[in-house]
Structure 1
Amino acid sequence: MKKSAFIKLSVAMTIFGSIGFFSRLTGLPSLELVFVRCISATVFLSAYWLISGQYKHESWQKKEMATIIIGGVFLVLNWIFFFAAFEKTAITIAISIYNLAPILVLVIGWIFFRDRIRILGILAVVLAFVGTVLISGVSLGDLTSGKSATGPLLALAAACLYALVIITGKYIKKASPYLVTILQTFIGVLMLIPFVHYSLYMHLTAANWFYSIFTGVVHTGIVYLLFYGSIRSLPTPVISALTYLDPLVAILLDIFITGFVPSYLQILGILLIFIAISYTLIKHEPATSKNKSVTG
C-alpha cells in the first residue's frame, strides 16, 4: 500500500464530506447547482486531461461508451436528488442515508446478479433499514399529521441512483477515470440545459458564484483526481474504511457549524448505518466482492 495513495484518498474523502456545507452557501437550488458543478468540473478535468497528455492513451469502445453514458445519467440524477435533500433536511440526515449506497449495491447484487446471500449481509441490510428509519426522525404519527418525509426520501433516492453508478462503473475497464468523469459531467451539462432556470443566476452574489464554482472544481474535479489517482494502489478494505471520513466530516460540520443537534434515536440510527456499512470491510470471495465504495 502506497502512503501517498492513502493520503490522497483521505484528503478526497475529507473534502467531499464538506460538500453539504458548501452547497448551502451557493444560494442555488439543486438543479441549477448541479449544472454549474458539471460545467466547472468538465472544464477543469478536460484541461488536466489535455495538459497531462492522458488523451493520447485513451481507448474508445462503443459498448463501453454506452455504459459511460448510462452511468453519467445515473450520476447526474443522483447529484440532483442529493443536493435537493440538503434543501429539505439536515445535512447529517441526508449524508447518513446517502451512504447506504454500498448496502443497496449488495441488495441489487442479490436480486439481479445472483450474488451469494450471507447471513451477515442480511443483518447489515436490516440494520441499515432500521438506522434509516431512526435517523429520518419521521414517525408514522408525523406522516399522518402532515410532517414531510421529503428530505429523507430524496436522500434515499440519491443513494439508489448512486448504487447504480457504482454498478455501471464495474463494467468500465478501458477508458481512463478522467475520460469517464469528463464525459459524465458533460452529459450532465447537456441533460440540464433545457431545464435550468437561468434567471436564478442573475441574483447571485460574488460569494455565491465563488462557492458554486468551488463545488464543481474542488468537490468534483480535484476530488475525482485524488480519488482515481489513489484507489488503484490501495486494497479494497482500506478504500471502504476511508470512505467513512466523508459522513464523519459532514456530521461534524453539521453539528459544530450549522448547529444541528441529533436526537438520541437519530444518533442510534447513525451508529446502526455505520455498523451496517462496515459489512463492506469484510473480505469476501472474488465472485462476490466486485463492488467498491466511491465518492458522489
Structure 2
Amino acid sequence: MNRRTEGMLGVVAAQTMLGTLGLCVLESGADPVSVAFYRCAIGGLALTFYCFWRGDLVGIVRLPPRTLLLAVFSGALIAVNWVLFFEGIRRTGIAVATIVVHIQPFIVVLMGAAVFRERLQAVTLMWIALALIGLVLSTGLTAADLSGSNAYLAGIGITLAAAVLYAAVTVIAKGISGIKAPQLASLQFLTGALVLTAAAPLAPQDLALPQWGWLMIIGLVHTGGVYVVLYGALPKLATPVIAVLLFLYPASAVVVDAVAYGRLIGPGQFAGLLLIVLASLGVTLGWGPRLRTAA
C-alpha cells in the first residue's frame, strides 16, 4: 500500500468515525458539560500516553512560556467550544449542528484577516457570502421560526458560537511554534478538563456503567484515536484531497442522524450543505478569478 492510499484510508476512517460522535453524545445521557469534561480528560490522558510512547513527553516540559500560555488558553476555548457544540446537538440534532459548525473555516479566514492583517481577495468574499447562504438554508429555519424564540433557534445560535470559538483556536494555533501536534492537543485537552471542573461535571460515581461506555468511546475513539490517525494521515496527502475528504464528517453525521433517529434533512438543507462544501473547497483550493483585493 503506497503512502497516498494509507493517508486517504486514515482520513476516511477518522472523518467517518467523527460522524458518529453526536450519537454517542446523545446516547450517553450526560449533560454537555460532563460529556466535554470526560472527553477532555480521557482524550487528554490517551494523547499524553501516546506522547510518552513516542518519547515526546519530556519536550512538553521544556516548551517556552509563550507556547505553554497559548496552548493553555486555546485548551480552555476548546473545552467551552465542545460544551456549546454538544448543547447544539441536543437542541437541533446531529446533522444540523454538524453542518452549522462547519462554517468555521470561513470564520477563520475573517479572523486571520483581522488578526494577521491578511488581505482578502474579492473572490474569497464571494465564497464566504455563498457559505453564509448555505448556512441559512442548512438550518431549515422558516419565517415562523424566526418570529419566535424556541429551543431550535437557540441551538443554532449556540452552535454558531461553538464555531467561532473553534475558529479562534485555529487562529491561535497559527501563532504557536516549536511544539508537535500531539503535544499541543494533549496540553489543550488536559487544560480543558481542569477548566471544566469548575462547572461541576458529573462525578465518576454518579455515572452509570452504560454512560461510562459511551464516554470512553468519545474519549478514546473520537478524541485520542481520531487525532492520532489524522496526525499520521494528513501529511501523506495533498491539500485538494484533504479538503474534499474532510467533508465526510458532516456527510456521515447526516446519515447517522437519519438512521439512528429518523431525522432527515430537507432538500433546502441538503442544498445548504452543498453550498458550504462548494464554498469551502473554493476558499481552500483558490478557485475563481483573481479579482481586485479587498482590504
Note if contact 2:106-2:280 (Cα within 8 Å) is conserved in structure 1: yes
Residue of structure 2 in register with 1:273 after alignment: 276
Q: CA deviation at 1:99?
A: 0.6
Question: CA RMSD, aligned part only?
Answer: 2.0
Residue of structure 2 in register with 1:34 after alignment: 36
Q: Identify which of 50, 62, 68 aligns with 1:48.
A: 50
Note if contact 2:40-2:192 (Cα within 8 Å) is conserved in structure 1: yes
Residue of structure 2 in register with 1:172 after alignment: 176
Q: Aligned in 2, Cα 1:197/1:189: closer, same or farther, shift over 3 Å?
A: closer
Residue of structure 2 in register with 1:11 after alignment: 13
Q: CA deviation at 1:114?
A: 2.6
Residue of structure 2 in register with 1:139 after alignment: 142
Residue of structure 1 in register with 2:64 after alignment: 61
Structure 2 CA distance for aligned equivalents of residues 185 and 251 of structure 1:
27
Q: Aligned in 2, Cα 1:239/1:201: closer, same or farther, shift over 3 Å?
A: farther
CA deviation string 1:200-238 (max 9, x = no partner): 962x43222101111011111011111122223332222
Residue of structure 2 in register with 1:209 after alignment: 212
- Correspondence 1:192 to 2:192: no
User: What amino acid sits opposite 1:179 in the alignment?
Assistant: Q
Structure 1 CA distance for aligned equivalents of residues 252 and 17 of structure 2:
8
Q: CA deviation at 1:162?
A: 0.9
Q: Identify which of 18, 24, 27 aligns with 1:25.
A: 27
Higher helix share: 2
Residue of structure 1 in register with 2:106 after alignment: 103
User: What amino acid sits opposite 1:34 in the alignment?
Assistant: A
Structure 1 CA distance for aligned equivalents of residues 198 and 252 of structure 2:
35
Name the TM-score, length of structure 1 as normaliser. 0.89
Structure 2 CA distance for aligned equivalents of residues 57 and 254 of structure 1:
41
- Correspondence 1:248 to 2:251: yes
Paired residues for 1:121-132 under 5 Å: 121-132=124-135
User: What amino acid sits opposite 2:193 in the alignment?
Assistant: V
Residue of structure 2 in register with 1:294 after alignment: none
Structure 2 CA distance for aligned equivalents of residues 278 and 201 of structure 1:
46
Q: Aligned in 2, Cα 1:209/1:111: closer, same or farther, shift over 3 Å?
A: same
Note if contact 1:28-1:200 (Cα within 8 Å) is conserved in structure 2: no
Note if contact 2:254-2:265 (Cα within 8 Å) is conserved in structure 1: no
Helix, strand or coil: the match of 1:24?
A: helix
Paired residues for 1:256-267 under 5 Å: 256-267=259-270
CA deviation string 1:115-147 (max 9, x = no partner): 232232112111111121222222343232343
Which segments of 5 or more consecutive residues in structure 2 lack a partner in the other structure? 288-295
Helix, strand or coil: the match of 1:81?
A: helix
Q: Aligned in 2, Cα 1:232/1:174: closer, same or farther, shift over 3 Å?
A: farther
Q: Which moved more, 1:158-167 or 1:55-64?
A: 55-64
Residue of structure 1 in register with 2:293 after alignment: none
Q: CA deviation at 1:56?
A: 4.5
User: What amino acid sits opposite 1:150 in the alignment?
Assistant: A
Helix, strand or coil: the match of 1:216?
A: helix
Structure 1 CA distance for aligned equivalents of residues 52 and 85 of structure 2:
30
Structure 2 CA distance for aligned equivalents of residues 55 and 92 of structure 1:
37
Structure 2 CA distance for aligned equivalents of residues 4 and 44 of structure 1:
23
Residue of structure 1 in register with 2:88 after alignment: 85
Q: How many residues align structurally?
A: 283
Note if contact 1:82-1:94 (Cα within 8 Å) is conserved in structure 2: yes
Note if contact 2:127-2:283 (Cα within 8 Å) is conserved in structure 1: no
Note if contact 1:98-1:155 (Cα within 8 Å) is conserved in structure 2: yes
Q: Aligned in 2, Cα 1:5/1:110: closer, same or farther, shift over 3 Å?
A: same
Structure 2 CA distance for aligned equivalents of residues 201 and 236 of structure 1:
45
